[in-house]
Structure 1
Amino acid sequence: MTATRDLGTAGPPGRALTAVAEFGRLVALGLDVLVGLFRRPFQVRELIGQFWFVASVSILPAALVSIPFGAVITLQLGSLTSQIGAGSVNGAASVLAVIQQASPIVTTLVVAGAGGSAICADLGSRTIREEIDAMRVLGVSPVQRLVVPRVLASMLVAALLNGMVSVVGVCGGYFFNVIVQGGTPGAFLASFSALAQLSDLWVGEIKAVLFGFLAGLVAAYRGLNPRGGPKGVGDVVNQSVVITFLLLFLVNLVISVIYLRVVPAKGA
Structure 2
Amino acid sequence: MTAPTSLPGVSAVRSAIREFGQMFSLGLDVVVAMFRRPFQLREFVQQFWFIASVSIAPAILVAIPFGAVISLQLGSLTRQLGAESFNGAASVLAVVQQASPIVTALIVAGAGGSAICADLGSRTIREEIDAMKVLGVSPIHRLIVPRVLAAIVAAVLLNGLVSVVGVAGGYFFNVIVQGGTPGAYLASFNALAQLPDLWVSMIKAFIFGFLAGVVASYRGLNPRGGPKGVGDVVNQSVVITFLLLFFVNTVITALYLQLVPAKGT
The TM-score with structure 1 as length reference comes to: 0.96
Residue 35 of structure 2 corresponds to residue 38 of structure 1: yes
Structure 1, unaligned stretches of length 5 or more?
1-8
1:70 aligned residue:
67
Q: Secondary structure, in 3 states, of the residue corresponding to 2:225?
A: coil
1:12 aligned residue (9, 13, 32): 9
2:19 aligned residue:
22
User: Per-residue CA shift, 1:155-195, capped at 9, x if unaligned?
Assistant: 00000000000000000000000011100000000000000
Distance in 2 between the 1:237 and 1:129 partners? Answer: 16
Shift of 1:10: 7.5
1:249 aligned residue:
246
1:131 aligned residue (128, 132, 140): 128
Structure 2 residue identity aligned to 1:215: A
1:5 aligned residue:
none
Structure 2 residue identity aligned to 1:157: A
1:186 aligned residue:
183
Structure 2, unaligned stretches of length 5 or more?
1-5
Structure 2 residue identity aligned to 1:116: G
What count of residue pairs does the alignment treat as equivalent? 260
Identical aligned residues as a percent: 76
Q: Secondary structure, in 3 states, of the residue corresponding to 1:167?
A: helix
Residue 120 of structure 2 corresponds to residue 120 of structure 1: no
Q: Any residues of structure 2 matched to 1:1-268 within 5 Å, and which?
A: 11-268=8-265
Distance in 2 between the 1:116 and 1:65 partners? Answer: 18
Q: Secondary structure, in 3 states, of the residue corresponding to 1:41?
A: coil
2:3 aligned residue:
none
1:4 aligned residue:
none
RMSD after superposition: 0.8
Structure 1 residue identity aligned to 2:161: M
